[in-house]
Structure 1
Amino acid sequence: MGRGVFTSVAITAGSVIEVAPVVVMSQRERALLDQTLLHDYIFEWGSEGAQCAMALGWVAVYNHSYTANCDYEMDYTTDSIQIITVRDIQAGEELFINYGGSWDEQKPVWFETQ
């Protein structure tokens, strides 16, 4: 899986783990990024999804799971992404998000369809 984010303490459901600022890029810049390794680390951004954003902080390092224990929320007003736990998490667990959007989305993600 590569890198990952782990907790050293127990965390209760509904806890905000991180609020990370993002760097928002245009549709033209996204086309360029899609040709690089950074493609795997950007988020679609904006109500139309034409832009993209690179999250700062640890957000880009969370691994994917269809049974994610965290969700992410995008705030287009503050240009930030918030990571929130969806269940209680034990100390030592890896924190996962679902790259498909919501924490329980079951649609295959891009790297499984290639």
Structure 2
Amino acid sequence: MGRGVFTLEALEADVLIEISPVVVLGEQERILLDQTLLHHYIFEWGDDRKACCVALGYVSIYNHSFESNCEYEMDFESQMIRVKTVRAVAAGEELFINYNGDWND
């Protein structure tokens, strides 16, 4: 079975689920990471998206959906990623983010 993030209780829309600190890696380190299994767990980082980051919370194990129930926001200055719900979520439901950008894109 794969990894994923699930809620134990029902959540309303616009609930902050997680604030995850990140470790930022430069462009050269990203080139190396892209050749490893960690490629699947990193996020592009910075306005030019040449760097990457590793999230230290659960952020790296949220699964992808084009109809996600959560969205993430990158805070480059604070080096954090925030995850919040975009709709009501039932207890036991898996939490998804859209890997391709906006939650509803």
- TM-score, with length taken from structure 2: 0.98
Identical positions, percent: 58
* 1:35 and 2:35 correspond: yes
User: Structure 1: 5+ residue runs without aligned partners?
Assistant: 106-114
* 1:88 and 2:88 correspond: yes
Matched residues in 2 for 1:84 and 1:77: separation?
A: 19
Give the CA RMSD over aligned residues. 0.8
Which residue matches 1:70? 70
Matched residues in 1 for 2:80 and 2:6: separation?
A: 21
Matched residues in 2 for 1:48 and 1:55: separation?
A: 19
Q: CA deviation at 1:104?
A: 1.4
Matched residues in 2 for 1:82 and 1:2: separation?
A: 23
Which residue matches 1:11? 11
Letter in structure 1 aligned against 2:58: W
- TM-score, with length taken from structure 1: 0.90
Which residue matches 2:60? 60
Matched residues in 1 for 2:104 and 2:13: separation?
A: 15
Q: Which stretches of structure 1, 4 residues or more, deviate above 2 A after TM superposition? A: none
How many pairs were matched up? 105
Letter in structure 1 aligned against 2:29: E
Matched residues in 1 for 2:3 and 2:99: separation?
A: 15
User: Structure 2: 5+ residue runs without aligned partners?
Assistant: none
Matched residues in 1 for 2:93 and 2:37: separation?
A: 27
Matched residues in 2 for 1:49 and 1:96: separation?
A: 22
Which residue matches 1:100? 100
Tell me the SS of whatever aligns to 2:21.
strand
